Amino acid sequence: MLDDLKLIHERDSQDALGVAQKEPDQLSYNFDSSFTDWPTKQFKNIVFAGMGGSALAGSIAVSWPSFNLPFEVVRDYHLPKYVSDETLVIVSSYSGNTEETLNIFAEAKTKNAYIVVITSGGKLAEMAQQENLPTLILPPVSQPRYAVFYGLKATLTITDGLGVTEGMAAELSNCHQFLTDSLQSWLSTVPTSQNLAKQIAQECVGKSVVIYGGPKLFPAAYKWKIGFNENAKQIAWCDQIPEFNHNEFLGWTKQPTDKPYTVIDIRSNLENPRVQKRFLVTAKLLSGLRPDPIVVEAVGQNLAEQLVWSITLGDFVSIYTALLNGLNPTPVDMIEKFKHELA
């Protein structure tokens, strides 16, 4: 089915595959950072506030570029108590109307934190403009989860501009050609027999998907989970090794005896050697007790390349899984209905 281009076009009517194909362009996008009021003081910590797809850039930044001061991602209505006028608060909402994030924005103002906004518009953009706050405007995409690299580039533009990092936005831009070349083998025109993304998708249909990563690539595992949830409308979860070996590992050994799951390991040669060994020992001891994992060995010469490679492969896999499920990957009607009911 995944080699039937006409059927793919019919089911992917909003061209999610086309969006995924253009993801490398997000890495080289240049945001307007010509703010005249960048502070000269030193920050003690950074808080990245966002929900859903708008929080994904913060999740990646936990792993790379690895800030030299405390960095926390907050998916909540409230800021941590330690936030002060020495805190950089990056407020991210693609729509600009996310209620949790708007509440965070209001709290950050009461704490006199230094606020920078990432959004495409909405109430958040209006309030930031009223307060004359630095604001990076995201280009239009069909869904926030498809703007993750825009969000990451915006975040690094901010941290580079404030002196928290140096040259990270440029390093991300340098991944553009690498990712462009890499994803050519995942396109819809490449037959399943030669297409890793299509092959993995076929193993995921009709099953709960479980994705594991080490600390460095866990953000990619988390993005795969989001992709299966929102693109394929399919239940999935993720966990991180080594924490996995202290609890969830044992959960595979007994119940349920029938295990309708697909297990995916996202591995990296950049992880701690003990983490790499844990993947191997885990697979050995759980052999016959859970499905053998699909092993995805991240490609790339550095962590930035491995992260963007792994994340984009996951996007293609989850989109192809949606098509196998007979679904349009882009809409998230139930989430929109939930927001309506909540309002």
- Any idea where the domains of the chain sit in the sequence? 5-13+182-324, 16-173
DSSP H/E element including 212: strand 208-213
State residue 37's pLDDT score: 61
Do the two domains 5-13+182-324 and 16-173 of this chain adopt the same fold?
A: yes
CA 145 centroid distance within chain: 7
Question: Does residue 215 surpass a pLDDT of 60?
Answer: yes
Question: Does residue 187 surpass a pLDDT of 60?
Answer: yes
Q: What is the token pair recorded at 320?
A: 């192809």
Closest CA to 88 of 133, 48, 143: 48
- DSSP letters, 202-229, are HHHTTSEEEEEE-TTTHHHHHHHHHHHH
Please name the residue ranges forming H helices in 56-147.
Answer: 56-63, 99-110, 122-130
Q: What percent of the chain has pLDDT over 70?
A: 99
Superfamily assignment of 5-13+182-324 in CATH? Glucose-6-phosphate isomerase like protein; domain 1 (3.40.50.10490)
Largest CA distance in the chain: 62
In angstroms, rounded to a whole number, what is the distance separating the alpha carbons of residues 27 and 169? 8
State residue 139's pLDDT score: 96
Prior bond of 242 cis (ω within 30°): yes
Q: State the DSSP code for 146.
A: G
Output 282 or 257, whichever has higher pLDDT: 282
DSSP H/E element including 89: strand 87-93
Other CB atoms within 10 Å distance of the CB of residue 279? 23
Q: What is the token pair recorded at 309?
A: 């490679």
Label residue 277 by pLDDT band (50, 70, 90). Answer: very high
Strands 87-93 and 71-74: unpaired
In angstroms, rounded to a whole number, what is the distance separating the alpha carbons of residues 110 and 25? 37
Segment 186-213 shows an average pLDDT of 98
Give the 3-state secondary structure of residue 172: helix
- Fold held by 16-173: Rossmann fold (3.40.50)
- Indicate the pTM of the whole model: 0.96
Prior bond of 134 cis (ω within 30°): no
**Average predicted confidence (pLDDT) for the chain:** 95
Could you list the active site residues? Answer: 230, 246, 339
Question: Does residue 118 contact residue 48 with C-beta atoms inside 8 Å?
Answer: no
Question: Does residue 145 contact residue 227 with C-beta atoms inside 8 Å?
Answer: yes
